[in-house]
Amino acid sequence: MPNNQTPSSIKISPSDLTYLYHSCKRCFYLKYKYKISQPGFSGGINSTLDSLFKNYFNHKSISTFIKNTTQQGIIIETGRTISSKTISHPGKMDCYLEGKYDALIEFDDQTYGVVDFKASKYSQGKEETYKRQLQAYQYAFLHPQNGQQRQISKIGLLFLYPNNLQDSQNSLSMSLTQHWIEILYDENDFLTFIHEVQDLLSSPKTPPPTKDCPYCKFVSETSNL
């Protein structure tokens, strides 16, 4: 294992609290402790869809995707980076949150909302997988490293998934189903979770491989070849 010096305060990406920490704590630990990341692929169709979603919804009313709401507001910006103040945990490594949110809503009551687009089909309970990412953005807006605090009154996921293709002037047009689901925010609960992450990263012991992690499985099966 590399003998890298670990910083006293570590930057954590909100998306890693969803995709990486949720799926494999060993891979999460290796990335943040030793800068050893899972191999990945950049760009592709997901990157294209992400850009399309942001361009389409920017400056749109929330009535476009949130039905039967008493609030009024519009998306005022997309794809910006937000950083939180340092989060301390006695005897453990400090950390701060930094990531790029998909869209920011400004409501008529001068509060704000954060939207995360998911190119995925919604199924019941799926919000549990993604909630920590949205909660991390809300925490960062409430406790910004720089700039003015913004009061966040709503955070949620907008699932967008193709359901039909049609011919359209020598090309194809795609229709999408959309499903909005709001995420609740309890700061004490979120900080308890972040402290668990800090406990993990402060430990000198690397977590064991995760049974269902394909990367851990690959390393295990090829280590003795």
The pTM of this model reads: 0.91
User: What integer pLDDT is reported at residue 43 of this predicted model?
Assistant: 62
Q: CA nearest 66: which of 175, 197, 162, 154?
A: 154
Instruction: Give the start-to-end residue ranges of the domains of the chain.
Output: 43-193
pLDDT 10s digit of each residue in the chain, 225 long? 333 444 468 999 999 999 899 999 999 999 999 999 988 766 678 889 999 999 999 999 999 999 888 889 999 999 999 999 999 999 999 999 999 999 999 999 999 999 999 999 999 999 999 999 999 999 999 999 999 999 999 999 999 999 998 887 788 888 999 999 999 999 999 999 999 999 999 999 999 999 899 999 998 888 877
Give the residue carrying structure tokens 């990335």. 31
pLDDT at residue 8, rounded to an integer:
66
From the number of C-beta atoms within 10 Å of its C-beta (0-12, 13-18, 19+), residue 178 rates as middle
pLDDT reported for residue 5: 40
Please write down the HEC assignment for all residues of the chain. Answer: CCCCCCCCEEEECHHHHCHHHHHCHHHHHHHHHHCCCCCCCCCHHHHHHHHHHHHHHCCCEHHHCCCCCCCCEEEEEEEEEEEECCECCCCCCEEEEEEEEEEEEEECCCCEEEEEEECCCCCCCCHHHHHHHHHHHHHHHHCECCCCCCCEEEEEEEEEEEEEEEECCCCEEEEEEEEEEEECCCHHHHHHHHHHHHHHHHCCCCCCCCCCCHHHHHHHHHCCC
**Contact criterion met (CB below 8 Å) for 141 and 98:** no
Residue among 184, 86, 81, 169 nearest 127 (CA): 184
In this structure, the number of other CB atoms found within 10 A of the CB of residue 155 comes to 24
